[in-house]
Structure 1
Amino acid sequence: MRIVRALWGSSHPGPTLVVTALAFALGVATGLEPWRLALLTVAVFAGQLSVGISNDALDAARDREVGRTDKPIARGDVAVGTAWVAALGLLALALALSVPLGWRMLAAHALALGSAWAYNAGLKSTPWSIVPFLVSFGIFPSLATLSSPDPAFATGWAWVAGAALGAAVHLTNVLPDLDDDARTGVRGLPHRLGPRMSAILAALAVVGGAVAVLLGASGGDLGAVSPVSWVFFAAVVTLAVVTAALAIARPPTRMLFRLVMLAALLLATQLVASGSAFVG
């Protein structure tokens, strides 16, 4: 149990649960059969666990160097080798669970996970650090639509909304760790932009995603937008404004990341409320 707790703590539990909930919500919106919905949800959950654990396994030495006592692998609660076995096993499980949902879903999930692992493996330290988030989150809505008996990619506006959300998550996720990252040679796009500019761009990305969902689900006809959709849109914009205001008023903290993740849940709920509109 001690090892399991350490691995769970290394998996970035918050983002893992949010992304899994998003997959479930999109599956519901697509109208997946219960067994397909269950497979999709568990496959995404396993994949996200593998991404989080592999990230902390790769960063263990850097985390020790900067004294990250909140990281179980860096603390020595679980061996790096054990973490790698778990990460690779969970990756294999995620792909295996995708197989019954069809080769298109398998390929899309493999692309999303491969992109995330590429970020962990080195892209995080380059100006292109945002690309894996654009790719993985952009294709993410299609995991649900490709899991249906009649697989199809999600509509273009769903790709835009997903990519915008991914950009916002990346730009805010690293903000509290900028100083530690600088000491260990990690210089991704947010590090080069600086904390305030990154936070402001993240807020703009969230608004962009909300606009894509609002207009896309209604076919561009604002008169056809439901009151529920307007409520969710207003909530996302409000969160974005609060995020930008906090970034300008004081040094960015993890609160900004939590606000973006809350916006992600609101966007997911908005997608569910739009029914199957995002199905290509």
Structure 2
Amino acid sequence: MTSTAVRALWGSSHPGPSLVVTALALALGVAASVEPWRLVVLTASVLAGQLSVGISNDAIDARRDAQVGRTDKPIARGDVGLGTAWAAAIAAAVVALGLSAVLGVELLGVHAVALASAWSYNAALKNTPISVLPFVVSFGLFPSFATLAATPPTFAALWATVAGAALGAAVHLTNVLPDLDDDARTGVRGLPHRLGVRAAAILAVTGILLGAVAVLLGPVIGGPQPLAAITPVSWAFFGGVVLVALLTLVRALRRPPARVLFRLTMLSALLLAAQLVGTSAA
């Protein structure tokens, strides 16, 4: 494979979001006290899975991207063949599941479900009213990647699952907003397209705030004085997420949709993960 093809595949993998999600897995693994060697395998597995999801998405959308003149899409530009892209996407999925299997059958099963959910969005569900569902499922399962990679393996707490699912909905809603016009030209009508920019932005910010509240209160709820048990670090990160959420809402309502909304949502995800790492309660 030529260096041009490798660069094209990397560009097709949605490298920014892929690296952010990989960093989230690393941070959650640290919070879950995963052994160093297992943490390395977990991180590599998540990265491979993200590469698979990103490349398959651009491979499936190549015809539509070319139709609307998406010059930022290497597969649509013809920088790499469609067959090569599919081979890379499938190979990355196999690597992701193989690495997960090293860490246990439980993680293998959960990662397989998350990848199947993500691929279902790429293949069909993005054009339906339930386009948000794969993001809710995959991000809801995501906190369990770290806890299942630990020894002994356990599923993440319910509050962490809720936070992941809420954040996943926000990721979907903000990611597609800049592409609404292009999608309309090619017949794609997922949930954000049906809601419209304003409603989708409000729902996305609601998801971010719900995730922030879950991460803030989840580790201490049920204690005799739950609010008193929240550390200053947790409050600080919570405030940061709320600020980012408000910036996202203001930006969405005052100016045309842009990729910055998605970047702000991913920043919220990183802040939430940092909060988990920075508190002993996590």
Q: Give the TM-score of the pair, scaled to structure 1.
A: 0.97
CA offsets 1:39-58 (integer angstroms, 9 cap, x no match): 00000000000000000000
Q: Is the 8 A contact 1:141 1:162 kept in 2?
A: yes
The aligned runs of 1:127-142 (5 Å cut-off) are: 127-142=129-144
Task: Report the Cα distance in structure 2 between the residues aligned to 1:93 and 1:249, rounded to whole angstroms.
Answer: 43
What letter matches 1:265 in structure 2?
Answer: L
**Aligned-partner SS, 2:218:** helix
1:177 is aligned to: 179
* 1:254 and 2:259 are equivalent in the alignment: yes
CA offsets 1:146-205 (integer angstroms, 9 cap, x no match): 111211100000000000110000000000000000111110000000012111111111
- Number of equivalences: 277
Q: Is the 8 A contact 1:134 1:162 kept in 2?
A: yes
1:80 is aligned to: 82
1:219, CA displacement in angstroms? 2.1
**Aligned-partner SS, 1:146:** helix
1:274, CA displacement in angstroms? 3.0
Q: Is the 8 A contact 1:199 1:252 kept in 2?
A: no
Structure 2, unmatched stretches of 5+, are none
Q: Is the 8 A contact 1:200 1:243 kept in 2?
A: no
The aligned runs of 1:105-144 (5 Å cut-off) are: 105-144=107-146
Misfit runs of 4+, over 2 Å:
274-277
2:214 is aligned to: 212
CA offsets 1:80-134 (integer angstroms, 9 cap, x no match): 0000000000000000001111100000000111100000001000001000000
Task: Report the Cα distance in structure 2 between the residues aligned to 1:117 and 1:272, rounded to whole angstroms.
Answer: 30
1:223, CA displacement in angstroms? 1.0
* 1:267 and 2:269 are equivalent in the alignment: no
1:276, CA displacement in angstroms? 6.1
Task: Report the Cα distance in structure 2 between the residues aligned to 1:7 and 1:199, rounded to whole angstroms.
Answer: 31
1:214, CA displacement in angstroms? 0.3
CA offsets 1:51-87 (integer angstroms, 9 cap, x no match): 0000000000000000000000000000000000000
State which of 225, 228, 232 in structure 2 corresponds to 1:223.
Answer: 228
In the superposition, relative to structure 1, how do residues 276 and 148 fare at CA in structure 2: closer, same or farther (>3 Å)? Answer: farther
Q: Is the 8 A contact 1:196 1:252 kept in 2?
A: no
Task: Report the Cα distance in structure 1 between the residues aligned to 2:166 and 2:215, rounded to whole angstroms.
Answer: 11
Structure 1, unmatched stretches of 5+, are none
**Aligned-partner SS, 1:77:** coil
Q: Is the 8 A contact 2:233 2:279 kept in 1?
A: no
The aligned runs of 1:20-39 (5 Å cut-off) are: 20-39=22-41
What letter matches 1:223 in structure 2?
Answer: A
Task: Report the Cα distance in structure 2 between the residues aligned to 1:197 and 1:14, rounded to whole angstroms.
Answer: 26
Q: Give the TM-score of the pair, scaled to structure 2.
A: 0.97
In the superposition, relative to structure 1, how do residues 32 and 109 fare at CA in structure 2: closer, same or farther (>3 Å)? Answer: same
CA offsets 1:223-271 (integer angstroms, 9 cap, x no match): 1110000000000001111111111111121111110011110011011
Deviates more, 1:245-254 or 1:256-265: 245-254
1:202 is aligned to: 204
In the superposition, relative to structure 1, how do residues 193 and 69 fare at CA in structure 2: closer, same or farther (>3 Å)? Answer: same
Query: RMSD between aligned alpha carbons?
Result: 0.9
The aligned runs of 1:47-58 (5 Å cut-off) are: 47-58=49-60
What letter matches 2:74 in structure 1?
Answer: P
* 1:235 and 2:237 are equivalent in the alignment: no
What letter matches 1:222 in structure 2?
Answer: L
Q: Is the 8 A contact 1:10 1:73 kept in 2?
A: yes
Task: Report the Cα distance in structure 2 between the residues aligned to 1:254 and 1:32, rounded to whole angstroms.
Answer: 34
**Aligned-partner SS, 2:150:** coil
